Amino acid sequence: MKGDLVCLQKHELSKMDTQIKKKIPCDEDIFSLSDTFKLLSDSTRLKIIFALMNKELCVCDIGEVVGMTGSAVSHQLRLLRCASLVKYRKSGKQVFYSLDDEHVYGIIAQTYEHIKHKKGE
Amino acid sequence: MKGDLVCLQKHELSKMDTQIKKKIPCDEDIFSLSDTFKLLSDSTRLKIIFALMNKELCVCDIGEVVGMTGSAVSHQLRLLRCASLVKYRKSGKQVFYSLDDEHVYGIIAQTYEHIKHKKGE
DNA sequence: TAGACGTATGAACAGATGTTCATACGTCTG
DNA sequence: CAGACGTATGAACATCTGTTCATACGTCTA
């Protein structure tokens, strides 16, 4: 659309919009980022991650700790598994899950500080 | 439910589940965390945030840079505004938005490193 | 003042997401 | 082997979410 060019000149963006666009990560990276945040944006999954920060746990116990059915937990664990955020170890009937990614811990910790900081304001 | 106790003893969680539960943040904090991540889990909003990292921009230009209509951008800016992630400055007809929270920059940067690291594995 | 422009917002729609339910699979135990 | 148990998974359902469309509001300008 040619109207856009007029608009851009008016707003003093002119050809600078190309520069700004370049600083925005490519779609692939943007989607990776949003997918990662999406995994962390559910309260059940967050609780699971916090629970696993302390100790390896089996599905049933995770369900007990976070207050959900084994089925619901298993569905969420599947997502965390696919994203390599948790790993599992089978032992007889049980499957023990633990965190597989130390980076996520840092991301959550930083965000936790953020909301605490915001609360204090 | 009394059945749970049996289950817990079997899995050697016994009274330790209370300890683990204590390490999980309260619901209020969990919801704050998930809300924050939810805001970052949309590709449009991420692009907006990246665009604003460089320079204050008006709604129309943001739309141009991220490739969306002004209306869609405005709806998303409203969410970012409510969460105090962006601030705005009115100048005549236009409204210029800029980032209001430097912490978010750190969270995104760390997550960006994370996905880059994962890619390299 | 009338119209153009930039922005904001509610309603409607489509798509994504999380839980529940039913069911199936593998493992242990009587 | 049969049943109990822990876990996994597909389908169905309800809910949430993001975009579009229509519209409204404020500001600038002819």
**Mean pLDDT (whole number) for A27-53:** 96
- Of the pLDDT bands very low, low, confident and very high (cuts 50, 70, 90), residue B13 is low
User: pLDDT tens digits for A50-82?
Assistant: 999 989 999 999 999 999 999 999 999 999 999
Specify whether the CB–CB gap between A63 and A95 falls below 8 A.
no
Q: Which of B12, B24, B84, B119 to mutate to test the interface with A (most CBs of A within 10 A)?
A: B24
Q: What is the pLDDT of residue B117?
A: 84
Q: What is the pLDDT of residue A20?
A: 77
Sheet holding A94-99, edge to edge: A57-58, A94-99, A86-91
Q: State which residue of chain A sits closest to B24, comparing Cα positions.
A: A50
Which of B93, B115, B104, B109 is closest to B37 using CA atoms?
B104
Within its chain, how far is the Cα of A35 from the centroid?
7
Whether residue B50 is predicted with pLDDT greater than 50 in this model: the reply is yes
Cα A17 to Cα A7, A8, B63: the distances in Å are: 12, 8, 11
> If you average pLDDT over every residue of chain A, what do you get?
86
Query: Alpha-carbon distance A12 to A25, whole Å?
Result: 23
Question: What is the sign of the dihedral through the CA atoms of B96, B101, B104 and B105?
Answer: positive
Which of B26, B50, B80, B46 is closest to A36 using CA atoms?
B46
Q: How many CA atoms lie within 13 A of B28 on its CB side?
A: 3
Q: What is the pLDDT of residue B19?
A: 78
Whether residue A6 is predicted with pLDDT greater than 60 in this model: the reply is no
CB atoms under 10 Å from CB of B24, counted, come to 19
Q: Which residues of A touch B60 (CB under 8 A)?
A: 7, 11
Which DSSP state fits B42?
Answer: -
Whether residue A9 is predicted with pLDDT greater than 70 in this model: the reply is no
Q: Which residues contact B24 (CB under 8 A, 6 or more apart)?
A: A47, A50, A51, A65, A66, B30
Asked whether residue A38's C-beta has any atom of DNA/RNA strand D within 7 A, the reply is no
Q: Which nucleotides of D are covered by protein (CB under 7 A)?
A: 5-11, 17-23, 26-28
CB atoms under 10 Å from CB of B14, counted, come to 11
This prediction's pTM: 0.88
Lowest-confidence pick of A20-29, A59-68, B15-24, B56-65 = B15-24
- One-letter amino acid at B80 equals L
Specify whether the CB–CB gap between B87 and B77 falls below 8 A.
no
Q: How far is the CA of B38 from the C1' of D26 (A)?
A: 32
Q: What is the pLDDT of residue A1?
A: 33
- Of the pLDDT bands very low, low, confident and very high (cuts 50, 70, 90), residue B11 is low
Q: What is the pLDDT of residue A63?
A: 95
- Of the pLDDT bands very low, low, confident and very high (cuts 50, 70, 90), residue A42 is very high
Choice between A97 and A22, residue whose per-residue pLDDT is larger:
A97
Q: What is the pLDDT of residue B118?
A: 80
